[in-house]
Structure 1
Amino acid sequence: MGTSVLDAAVLGSMAVVGIAMLMALWRLLRGPTVPDRILALDTLSVTAIAQLVLFGIHLQTPVYFEAALIIAMLGFVSTVVLCKYVLRRDIVE
């Protein structure tokens, strides 16, 4: 019984995170300003990390946790670079 409850919770969470990804994608495509789009891209990367972790829990394999870690590092760096570009119009100082 405990396993079926955990599976149901993970699958329900994956559905909710998928809806959050769709809403972030909508904001990324329709965002009125550049900062809105940067925030949507950051939200999309965070939800992708959550989706990968939930998928790893569902399949009971650690491979997806490593992929989530790589996406986390790339998402952080891309957010910093995009914010720096918006503020200064130059990436390299």
Structure 2
Amino acid sequence: MFTAAILGVLAAMALAVARCLIGPTAFDRLLAANAIGTSAILLLALFGFLTDRPEFLDIGITYALLNVIAMLAVLKFFRYGALGHEQDPEKDPN
């Protein structure tokens, strides 16, 4: 049962890699990269259950946090053109 789930997640990951390579816009590629990260987390969890090692879930949670931080950094780079964006008090009062 877990083997079939792992094969399904690998198939979804292969489709996401294809979208990442073919995607017409940068945002399609970014969404595909996020889907690859999510699939990797699912793959870690399924492999942990298959091998009866629940500590893989901790690795998956850590990878999920890194995935969220990386996506926020990339989106900030797309919006401002740099990660060290300084706010202009006249344009943005916050």
TM-score by length of 1: 0.86
The RMSD of aligned alpha carbons is 0.9
Shift of 1:71: 1.0
* Aligned-residue identity in percent: 27
**Matching residue within 58, 68, 88 for 2:50:** 58
Q: What is the match of residue 5 of structure 1?
A: none
Q: What is the match of residue 13 of structure 1?
A: 5
* Equivalenced residues, count: 85
The letter of the residue matching 2:55 is: V
Shift of 1:63: 2.6
Moved over 4 A (4+): none
More relative contact order in 1 or in 2 (CA 8 Å, sep 6+)?
A: 1
TM-score by length of 2: 0.85
